[in-house]
Chain A
Amino acid sequence: MNRETYGLLLKLALVILVTLLLLPFVPLVIWSFAARWAWPDLIPSLLSARSWSLVLDPEGDFLKGYLESCLTAFGAMTASILLIYPLARWLTLSDSRFKPAIEILAFAPLLISPYVAAMGMHEIFVRLQLEDTGLSAILAHTVVFSPYMLRVLIVGFLAKGERLEQQAQTLGGGSLFVLWRVTLPRMKPAIGLGCSFVFLASMGEYVLTNLVASEIITLPAVLYPYVAAGDRSVAAAGSLLLMSASIVLLILLELLLHNKLITRDAA
């Protein structure tokens, strides 16, 4: 196979891949503007901006739910990284005999139903008078989704090892200096991936939020009745709104990973 044919096949594969990835979103976009789209019509017979007016209504539940979902997801993501980073490092590098027990505890939320954990947490939040607050929602999401962050960071630490940090220490780098200049730049891909997991999982969760903080309105909770009632147009517009947060996060992470501190392997 010559280079031209290979290049052509590569482009074709890329086009197919992008099409397959985008294809599910095309009907969503069309549905969000459709007032009537019955089978066997190829395109909607009537278009309307009703769904978007409802979804983007500043006084409506959709934007409130969107904002509260984003804040909860962002809070859970931030809390996860702050709590899990040192734990993941310790679990990777320590040879303590307590390590296996702590590892099992840390991954326990993946092994038991999140709703069982939520019930327990709700009890504690009630005693601490934290029930039905944004903080309780963030804490519940952090507990349930942080194992995703932990798994990714452990893999990241295992792949990178600690030799560069040791080198930095022998050159006089203190803990914070080494963390900022050496460790974080190298761990950025793993941190980015862990953040994506926690944020996306948190954005899609509403039963857990409802159990521990019923006052918090999440976008999936607002969206659910429309989906259940078969209002595809509003469901599509709401889903696109939900998706926009993830797209913004992915763009931000991509920008962060490709700034001048991006890790380039020196092998």
Chain B
Amino acid sequence: MNSSQPRLAVQNIGKSYGKVEVLAPTSFSINSGEILAILGPSGCGKTTLLSIISGLIQPSAGDVYLDGRPLTGLPTERRGIPMVFQDHLLFPGMSVFDNVAFGLMARKCNKVEIKQRVEEVLVAVQLQGLEHRQPAELSGGQKQRVALARAIVLRPSVLLLDEPFSNLDEALRLEMRELVMESRASFGFSAIIVTHDSREALAMADRIAVMRKGKIEQLDVPSTIYFKPATTFAARFLGHSNLLSCQHLAPELLKNVAISNPTQQSLPGSQGYLCIRPENITILTEDQTANCLQAVVKTLSFSGPRVNVCLNSAAGIIRCELATQNAAALNSGQTVGLVWDSSAASIIHGNDQEVS
């Protein structure tokens, strides 16, 4: 493989069922060892995109390239791109060993190699000793580990993960995320993970593609997507974001704030929104309220190390997040001033889009 060549490239892939377009022409690529998260709500087309890459669905247009080789017309089993599904899909009636060995047996590897590779990968996913168990005898987390082991034992260059942890509880999710990251480091695969969990995407991905209604709205590194979302949808989908109509903000509050989507043409009747994350707002007490946005504290809610503050302002409801010790002086009904570092804020042109 050419060092500058992407590991996997998707070029103008689109999918329509009759007149219904479920995936608009989409292009992106991932590099060797990279994890790309495709993030979006249910029904936005992210699983369709993954299924097209794996060959389970034929695209209406476009092509997929693996190491520069076109995959058009190649059946799923010959693409060499294993997929881990949300519901683990372990083969019933087969032991853990047989499940993990499935792909190697399909490739007609010899028994010695199968045994050695399965044992190696079972150690990597911490399932040694459970080789002879049946799927029904495993916990949810163990099942998902087997599903992961079954894919990485094939030493794929690209691994597809379709909401792999959404059936697990919070603690197991964290554990599995770490396991995927460790496995990536050990086995060196690139991965595309489809998820609707923004925290999962932010924690795991080298880059995130935010999808909505069959289109990628923004594809960038997690910090840019989080702090400089290109659309109000992306801003809202990645945790809480304050979107303040620029019409209600004094010009000096918008000074030096970068525009997230400078190439986007302003539509007639559209407007701009200042996007600022709750943790990037500083609350000033009453005697320091000059040159800032005036607001009245509505509610304060304690959440351990942080306090969430909800405020009323001329630009609308604003949410802030403060360290608990910094919120001690605040009371409901108190008038305060809000300021932010212009580098932590951004302006999004366009109409407000609800998360759907």
B103 → chain A closest CB, angstroms: 4
Contact assessment for B154 and A172 in the assembled complex, using a CB-CB cutoff below 8 Å: yes
Q: From A266, which residue of chain B is reached at the shortest CB distance? A: B135
For A266, what are the chain B residues with a Cβ–Cβ distance below 8 Å?
90-92, 134-136, 143
Cα of A266 to Cα of B136 in the assembled complex, Å: 4
Q: From A267, which residue of chain B is reached at the shortest CB distance? A: B136
What count of chain A residues pass the 8 Å CB interface test? 25
Q: From A164, which residue of chain B is reached at the shortest CB distance? A: B89
Q: From B94, which residue of chain A is reached at the shortest CB distance? A: A181
Contact assessment for A172 and B83 in the assembled complex, using a CB-CB cutoff below 8 Å: no
Task: Decide if A204 is an interface residue (CB 8 Å cutoff).
Answer: no
Contact assessment for A173 and B103 in the assembled complex, using a CB-CB cutoff below 8 Å: yes
Contact assessment for A169 and B92 in the assembled complex, using a CB-CB cutoff below 8 Å: no
A162 → chain B closest CB, angstroms: 10
Contact assessment for B92 and A170 in the assembled complex, using a CB-CB cutoff below 8 Å: no
Per-residue interface assignment for chain A, residues 158 to 170, with 1 indicating a CB less than 8 Å from any chain B CB and 0 otherwise:
0000011011111
- A residues 143-186 with Cβ under 8 Å of B? 163-164, 166-174, 177-178, 181-182, 185-186
Contact assessment for A172 and B106 in the assembled complex, using a CB-CB cutoff below 8 Å: yes
Most chain A Cβ neighbours within 10 Å, of B75, B83, B85, B91: B91
Per-residue interface assignment for chain B, residues 53 to 78, with 1 indicating a CB less than 8 Å from any chain A CB and 0 otherwise:
01110000000000000000001111
Per-residue interface assignment for chain B, residues 112 to 156, with 1 indicating a CB less than 8 Å from any chain A CB and 0 otherwise:
000000000000000000000011100000010000001100100
Contact assessment for B134 and A264 in the assembled complex, using a CB-CB cutoff below 8 Å: yes
Contact assessment for B56 and A264 in the assembled complex, using a CB-CB cutoff below 8 Å: no
Q: Knowing A169-B76, A170-B76, say if A186 contacts B107 (CB, 8 Å).
A: no
The answer, among B77, B83, B93, B143, for a CB contact under 8 Å with A264, is B93
Cα of A171 to Cα of B146 in the assembled complex, Å: 13
For B76, what are the chain A residues with a Cβ–Cβ distance below 8 Å?
166, 169-170
Task: Decide if B81 is an interface residue (CB 8 Å cutoff).
Answer: yes
Task: Decide if B160 is an interface residue (CB 8 Å cutoff).
Answer: yes
For B337, what are the chain A residues with a Cβ–Cβ distance below 8 Å?
none
Contact assessment for B150 and A171 in the assembled complex, using a CB-CB cutoff below 8 Å: yes
Cα of A182 to Cα of B160 in the assembled complex, Å: 21
Task: Decide if B82 is an interface residue (CB 8 Å cutoff).
Answer: yes
Contact assessment for A171 and B102 in the assembled complex, using a CB-CB cutoff below 8 Å: yes
Sampled A-B contacts (17; CB under 8 Å): A166-B56, A167-B89, A168-B106, A169-B76, A170-B81, A170-B82, A170-B83, A171-B77, A171-B102, A171-B103, A171-B106, A172-B106, A173-B103, A174-B77, A181-B102, A264-B136, A265-B136
Binding site for A on B (CB under 8 A): 54-56, 75-78, 80-83, 85, 87, 89-93, 102-103, 105-107, 134-136, 143, 150-151, 154, 160
Sorted nearest first, the 6 A-B pairs with minimum C-beta distance are A266-B135, A171-B103, A170-B83, A169-B76, A167-B89, A173-B106
